[in-house]
Amino acid sequence: MENTATNNSMLTAVNLSKKYEDGVLALDNVSFSVNKGEIFTILGANGAGKTTTINIFLNFIEPTEGEALIGGFVTHKEPLKAKQKVAFVSENVMLYNNFSALQNLDYFAKLGGNTSLTKDDYKNILLRVGLQEEAHNKKIKGFSKGMRQKCGIAIAIIKNAEAILLDEPTSGLDPKAGFEFISLLKSLRDEGKAILMSTHDIFRAKEISDTIGIMNKGKLVMLKKQDELKDQNLEQIYLDYMAGHNGELNA
Ligand SMILES: Nc1ncnc2c1ncn2[C@@H]1O[C@H](COP(=O)(O)OP(=O)(O)O)[C@@H](O)[C@H]1O
Ligand SMILES: [Mg+2]
């Protein structure tokens, strides 16, 4: 597939391949790009290569071939510059369990060199991401996945990250929490963030995405814009790709 990068591209995968040490080819020549103000969703079954893709963008692992770029910086060559532009929102990474939500925000704001924010600023950001006031002073330890992710989004807002990555953010959330979280991501998209997320939830993917990529066995087998999909049955398309009826993009 051609390199789809444009001047507006914030996240770009160029012919990404990853072979793990044990010989598993987890990613096979994957290319796509995510613009500012775009939500790009990778849909795929377990083992499709979604987490591997995200982990390369985060420089947790290096690609075997190709490269991932964030704001023009190749993640495994200029990791610090790439990292400045991105926030990874997950339930596990980053947060300090024995700190409250407010303390976490203050810690990460200062770590990022932002010393001008007041407690009221933090409270307003936590309210914006939907964390109720009574939780602000509670230790993160007791937080649900949805609450932890809201804190992660709050930190991304403080960092003013231009790109936001999420690995299956709605799995395990109840329907209302899932809906609220999706609405929050849309509002960040509307502010111009580039959002790359993975999911195996076809319903959510169709609801939120500007662009959907379907991955199967390490290959990006479909890449379509929302308007190309709007009158189509995404579930049937997905099942057809899984069964190999639709051919492959990279074939
Ligand atoms: N650290 C690893 N070492 C070896 N194989 C791995 C490792 N991580 C993932 N894999 C394999 O790579 C493939 C893609 O995995 P992954 O990216 O986690 O897929 P997904 O997130 O879509 O479920 C799978 O076959 C998986 O077993
Ligand atoms: Mg995964």
Residue-range domain boundaries for the chain: 1-85+162-251, 89-161
Q: Nearest ligand, CA of residue 168? A: 2
What integer pLDDT is reported at residue 91 of this predicted model? 80
Sheet harboring 38-44: ordered strands across?
A: 86-89, 163-167, 194-199, 38-44, 211-216, 219-225
Residue 246 has pLDDT above 90, yes or no: no
Any idea of the CA torsion for 81, 9, 129, 150, to the nearest 10 degrees? -60
Residue 127 has pLDDT above 90, yes or no: yes
Q: Which of 16, 17, 20, 165 to mutate to test the pocket of ligand 1 (most atoms within 8 A of CB)?
A: 20
Residue 2 has pLDDT above 50, yes or no: no
Confidence of residue 231 (pLDDT cuts 50, 70, 90): confident
Instruction: Select the CATH number that applies to the domain covering 1-85+162-251 from these four: 3.40.30.10, 3.40.50.1000, 3.40.50.300, 3.30.230.10.
Output: 3.40.50.300
Percent of the chain surpassing pLDDT 90 = 83
* 32 bridge partner residues: 13
Query: Minimum mean pLDDT among 1-5, 12-16, 70-74, 93-97: which range?
Result: 1-5
Q: What is the CA radius of gyration of the chain?
A: 18
Please report which residue ranges of the chain form alpha helices under DSSP H: 50-57, 79-84, 101-111, 119-128, 145-159, 175-190, 202-208, 226-229, 234-242
Q: Nearest ligand, CA of residue 53? A: 1
Atom 25 (ligand 1): residue with closest C-alpha? 47
Mean pLDDT of 235-247: 85
216: three-class secondary structure by DSSP: strand
Atom of ligand 1 nearest to the CA of 218: 14
Instruction: Tell me what the pLDDT averaged over the chain comes to.
Output: 92
User: How confident is the model over 3-48, as pLDDT tens digits?
Assistant: 455 668 999 999 999 999 999 999 999 999 999 999 999 999 999 9
**Cα of 52 to ligand 1 centre, how many Å?**
6
What integer pLDDT is reported at residue 4 of this predicted model? 54
Mean pLDDT of 174-191: 93
Confidence of residue 249 (pLDDT cuts 50, 70, 90): low
User: How confident is the model over 46-59, as pLDDT tens digits?
Assistant: 999 999 999 999 99
